[in-house]
Chains A and B, each alone.
Chain A
Amino acid sequence: MPTLAGFIQTLSTGIFQGGVYAIMALGLAIIFGVMHIINFAHGEFLLIGAYLTYWLFHALHVDPFLSILLTFGLVFVFGQIIQRYLLDPVRHDHSFVLVMTYALSIFIVGLMFIFFKSELRSVVTVYSLWSLDFMDADVILNLQDMAVLVMAGIFFVLVHLFMKRTWIGKCMSVCAQDEEAAQLMGIDTRLVSSLAFGLGSALTSVTGSLMITSQVFHPGMGGIQTLKAFTIVILGGMGSLWGAAVGGILVGIIEAVGTLFMPGIYKPIIGFSILLLVLLFRPSGLFGKASV
């Protein structure tokens, strides 16, 4: 049985990880909620964020937390271009969209291999190991992890306010509910879709920027992140912002705590077990089909 300190430490690890998962799933929830498409390249946008941060840190000595703004802006624009010129032309055929996003994921992975090779990449800052120690240093809360969680929270609040308080956000909500009705109301749904894809992709890239401060990356790990994002979004409820946040935190905690009671080798099974259980017993997810 784990000690109390061990349990608290593991729980905190799960919460920190879950916060990052939440932002990753938030991006997917927005894209699915507004555009009703499955984006197979979701994890690759996370790679873009991670590698941009890596490059800015190592080549230009830009702090990873500062690079988030630049990453967000660049991927927001890139995402819009992708939506406008690759996805929009085939938006009426879902199978085409699936193939296109799959091709896009291969394309991005290929580029990453060319520019960053297959080696593991990470960002270690001077403050990477700063921490608050409790219970005779048996519980160590890493300050960088806490900062990542705070950043995740800030992004969630900003996105929530954007969706509820801004005209564009409200347009996205309308499109999520009924695209035809939105068009009849004079909303430029193509523009809204483009902005939604840009926002969703940018949020996912932010996840990559945050994750590379505490994990290692290689170009082949986008696929597993895409699956994880789908697991969280399905757990929380497709298209639900709150669902993505709560689902992310839950998956992070369940993964971490689960490995306390079973060998670490089974960790990948935990996420997919959650997915199967939710699909079997509550296919609409924790927050039903709440719209964006």
Chain B
Amino acid sequence: MRKSLIMWTLLSVFVVCGLVSLNQTAVAEEELVIGCSLPFTGGLSSEAPYFRDGYTLGVDMINKSGGLLGKKVKLVMQDDQTDPATAITIYEKLVTKEKAIALFGPLGSSVTAAAASVAEKHKVPIVSSYAAGESLYNKGYTYHFGICASSYFGGSYSVPFIDMVNNFEKWGPKGEAKPNKIAIIGVSGAYGRDAVDRCVKRAKEVGLDVVHQGMYDAKTGDFTPMLQKIKGKGAEILCAVSYYNDSIILARGIAKLKMKFKTIFLGTGPDLPEWKELGPIGYKYCSAYPLSPSWQRGGYPEFVKAFKAKFGKDPIYSHAWAYGVAQVLKAAVEKAQSLDPVKVRNAIAGLDMDIAWCHVKFAPEGWNAGYGGTYISQNQKGKTVGVWPPEVAQAPVIYPFR
């Protein structure tokens, strides 16, 4: 009786675990494997579903267009828990056991660096979609390519906000003094550190008074003490290099402490559909918008149509990001006319093409030198609206924040 109960319990656990990891099922021998990990748990878990859907649609696109050199492709995806050590184990397994011919990147610069180290060791190309830390591209990896802006534009997803503030006279209310005291904070990790450094440097260059600079741990459920510290220093502007999870916590803390910032930038979050759960307290936040509102090249309309057909909703830029990774791999294999990893790697390095969210032309360090730049959007009553630079602005900035 007791043994059977234990058996049933363990069986149930295995069934549930199996359901959770449907994407990890066995792969038919004739199919080519592309491996990847995503952070279904941990600090970046909120971003993972977008990239899962984007990668999946990208692989669908490859298969519908005849596969890679006529062979069907299977995507093997696992949870890296937003943890570099776990990512190393997963990517080792993907290359050695699953015999992946190419890899799609995980999320975040630290985890991507871990995955890239495995790819480098086994000489398998890896294309990442969400890793912008400068330090990732200074490690000398030759098999890693990131479709993010990265090294040259390091921190560019936040720096345009500093430029927007610096050009206050172009968008601010007439007669209103330009805000000057800025607090710059960022999520711990390679990207956060690099981007905060870049933002601080830029803020000082344009004469802003950086009253607070700091990093925080994304796993912390409450940022009240940190925000209290910033409040005490009289910051008028907040620039946070944040991911969705921490953006939500920050927004709640800011509302709770009734902080009177003039304008706030959060790296990711205010532009995402889930942000609406915050209600009105989520309005007026600025955010990075890495897809030009007018971008229609690189198969973007086809991507939107396929996405709507498969998922029944509109895509956001993260979906396009992930989808673009599959486009890069497909183009490289077609160019190389080979599945040999070295030849595919060399083909990727020489690409000069449009994908569904930007132009791609990789620098020798692997970052995307073809990327056009980041735009600033603002959440205006639940709607994401481009507000900076002026040439792409869809509406004026709503100012002040509070």
Contact = CB atoms under 8 A, between A and B. Distances in A.
Given A89-B2, A260-B229, A263-B215, A218 B46 contact: yes
Contacts of A106: 13, 16-17
A128 B231 CA distance: 20
Mostly helix, strand, loop or mixed at chain B's interface? helix
A216 B6 contact: no
A173 interface: no
A259 B49 contact: no
B48 A118 contact: yes
Given A103-B10, A118-B40, A113 B229 contact: no
B281 A129 contact: yes
Contacts of B248: 120, 122, 216
B271 to A, nearest CB: 15
B219 interface: yes
A121 B248 CA distance: 10
A153 interface: no
A140 interface: yes
Interface in A118-154: 118-122, 124, 128-129, 131, 133, 137-138, 140, 142
Given A120-B245, A220-B81, A268 B229 contact: no
B226 interface: yes
A82 to B, nearest CB: 10
A122 B252 CA distance: 10
Mostly helix, strand, loop or mixed at chain A's interface? helix
Contacts of A118: 40-41, 45-46, 48-49
B225 interface: yes
Chain A residues touching B, range: 35 or more
B27 interface: no
B225 A256 contact: yes
B219 A268 contact: yes
Given A90-B2, A113-B20, A256-B224, A140 B245 contact: no
A131 B9 CA distance: 47
A110 B217 contact: no
A267 B225 CA distance: 10
A129 B5 contact: no
A117 interface: yes
A108 B368 CA distance: 41
Contact of B278 (A119, A124, A219, A220): A124
A117 B49 contact: yes
A17 interface: yes
Contacts of A90: 2, 6
Contact of B220 (A10, A142, A267): A267
Contacts, number: 154
A284 interface: no
Interface in B1-34: 1-2, 5-6, 9-10, 12-13, 16-17, 19-20
- The winner among A96, A109, A117, A259 for most chain B CB atoms within 10 A is A259
Contacts of A56: none
A215 B221 contact: yes
B61 interface: no
A110 B20 contact: yes
B48 A120 contact: no
A114 B19 contact: yes
Interface in B39-69: 40-42, 45-46, 48-49
A232 B252 CA distance: 26
Interface stretch (B91-99, B253-261, B291-299, B344-352): B253-261
A220 B81 CA distance: 9
27 contacts: A2-B229, A2-B232, A9-B228, A17-B222, A89-B1, A89-B6, A104-B9, A107-B13, A110-B13, A110-B16, A110-B19, A113-B40, A118-B41, A118-B45, A119-B49, A120-B244, A124-B277, A124-B278, A129-B256, A129-B281, A131-B256, A215-B222, A256-B222, A259-B225, A260-B229, A264-B223, A264-B225
Given A124-B252, A215-B222, 8 more contacts: A3-B232, A6-B231, A110-B20, A216-B221, A218-B46, A220-B42, A266-B217, A268-B217
Closest 10 CB pairs of A and B: A220-B41, A110-B16, A259-B225, A264-B216, A89-B2, A118-B45, A264-B226, A215-B221, A13-B224, A6-B232
